[in-house]
């Protein structure tokens, strides 16, 4: 059972000028509210995403954010490399008072990617919703090699490898849901 917080986390805007910046983006052929709901419901990601091992909310905010603990596999052919992290999570849903919303933001607070900031952005377009996931980070605090490890291995191999699968999997789930809704309304 997760603890309930009285106030939502305020993570602020995505920091600029970090050593690592990865962007995964694409068109989701589903309405914004459908893909946003799936992306914000992190505890159910393993239902839609076979590479996710588990997600647990350790604390919950009134807006749907809180502290999330996550584990995903990064496949390498037939082998899986398990990853783990915990993140603060803040949510600005469609129609909220946040002028720059809708978005979902994470700040990693445990794991090798501690201090990584992540932002999911959602923008309605003619064919559905444009979704982008941006990760920014200065790398692990390893003298001399932390930045290199982040930009040469952790970012392109692990962060992009997991984020691209996450976006593709949630897009498929949103598109199925939108299709079922359209068929049900006929």
Whether the CB-CB separation of 152 and 9 falls below 8 Å is answered with no
pLDDT at 112: 95
pLDDT at 7: 64
pLDDT at 158: 94
- Per the structure block, which two tokens stand in for 99? 């002028």
pLDDT at 6: 58
pLDDT at 83: 95
pLDDT at 134: 98
pLDDT at 182: 83
Q: Which residues does residue 50 pair with via DSSP β-bridges, in sequence order?
A: none
pLDDT at 35: 98
Distances (CA, A) of 20 to 33, 57, 95, 97: 30, 27, 31, 30
pLDDT tens, the chain, 186 aa long: 566 655 667 888 899 999 999 999 999 999 999 999 999 999 999 999 999 999 999 999 887 899 999 999 998 888 899 999 999 999 999 988 667 779 999 999 999 999 999 999 999 999 999 999 999 999 999 999 999 999 999 999 999 999 999 999 999 999 999 999 888 776
pLDDT at 171: 98
DSSP secondary structure letters along 6-68: SS-----SPPSS-SEEEEEEEEESS-HHHHHHHHH-GGGHHHH-TTEEEEEEEEE-TTS-EEE
pLDDT at 5: 56
Domain at 3-184, CATH from 3.90.480.10, 3.30.530.20, 1.10.3720.10, 3.40.50.720: 3.30.530.20
Considering the entire predicted model, what is its pTM? 0.92
Residue with token string 């076979």:
50
């Amino acid at each position: 059972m997760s603890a309930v917080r009285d106030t939502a986390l305020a993570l602020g805007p995505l920091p600029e000028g970090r050593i690592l910046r990865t962007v995964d983006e694409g068109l989701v052929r589903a309405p914004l509210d459908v893909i946003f709901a799936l992306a914000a419901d992190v505890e159910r990601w393993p239902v839609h995403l076979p590479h996710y091992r588990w997600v647990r909310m350790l604390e919950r905010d009134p807006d749907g954010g809180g502290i999330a603990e996550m584990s995903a596999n990064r496949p390498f052919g037939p082998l899986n490399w398990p990853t783990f992290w915990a993140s603060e999570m803040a949510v600005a849903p469609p129609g909220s008072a946040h002028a720059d919303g809708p978005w979902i933001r994470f700040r990693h607070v445990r794991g090798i990617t501690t201090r990584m900031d992540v932002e999911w952005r959602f923008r309605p377009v003619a064919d559905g919703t444009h979704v982008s996931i941006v990760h920014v980070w200065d790398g692990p605090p390893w003298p001399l090699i932390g930045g290199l490890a982040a930009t040469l291995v952790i970012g392109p191999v692990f962060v992009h490898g997991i984020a691209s699968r996450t976006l593709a999997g949630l897009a498929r789930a949103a598109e199925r849901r939108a299709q079922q809704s359209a068929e049900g309304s006929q």
